[in-house]
Amino acid sequence: MDKLLNISPANIFPDPNQPRKDFDEEKLQELADSIRAAGVVQPITVRPGETESQYMLIAGERRWRASRIAGIETIPSVVVSNEESLTDESIFKIQLTENFEREDLNPVEEAEFLQQQIDKLKTEGNENPADIVVNALGKSRSWLSKKLKVLKHSEEIRMLAREGLVRDYSILNKLEKCSTEKKSRAIKSIKEGSFNAKEFFSRKRYDGGKKNSVKTVSGKTKDVVRENKFQILFSKEGIINLIDKTEYRHILDSSDPDWKMANDEMMKAYLHKFKEWAVDKTE
């Protein structure tokens, strides 16, 4: 049966599988000041450790860290001891619920934790680890794909999310598609606090290259322009943009929620099926 105890913060250690890796020192200090003045209002959740006096954190790491900074002698803790509550699945759900409901958990931390859980379930021999994760959260595979996509971004883009400078997934995705020069300018303005996403992305060709300013285009140049347009249209991103504008997107979402993450060859196969679908629709 669960019980409420006042435990010394020194006798509590964090769960190594806990998703949070980065903690804002300034916010922790603010919480510590609050705890020093009013105490810990909401108890943390722990489980018995290897020794009688030790406990492992399940939920409430920020409150535990802030309590240590505040120097309080004990922290109210709900000790979970029944077997059903101590299963990996139960702890997994508790930690996910706490962390995904927190506004200060950045997109990279979310994605890293989700991927960590998928990898762990995979090594344990589970055939559909992604399904186990989304079912535990009550989410969809497409939601999971969106969350994990941030891990495919370059380190400089992930850092924007990790530092809490950008939380909007759509902005992160657009920044990743920018040319090197444009991306650098965007990152600089984001760090300076002067970035305006609506104004920045309203400019044409934000995804790289300068617009051809030649008014009179020769036949050879027209061929180059047509070839560039063709390459853009039938690139992976071009195919995704094309399918996304039609009802066929819902068909792919149902059959393969991760279709947008497919390799180039598979994306061409999707394009071929899309053309067949489009022909059938017009007949």
Could you tell me the two tokens for 157? 């883009």
Could you tell me the two tokens for 5? 């105890």
Count of alpha carbons within 13 angstroms of residue 26, beta-carbon side = 1
Rounded-to-integer distance, Cα 169 and Cα 166, Å: 8
- 61 has catalytic annotation: yes
Nearest to 55 by CA among 24, 86, 84: 86
Q: Which of 50, 61, 103, 176 is catalytic?
A: 61
Could you tell me the two tokens for 54? 């030790």
The residue type of 78 is V
Rounded-to-integer distance, Cα 162 and Cα 176, Å: 15
Rounded-to-integer distance, Cα 280 and Cα 275, Å: 9
Residues marked as catalytic: 61
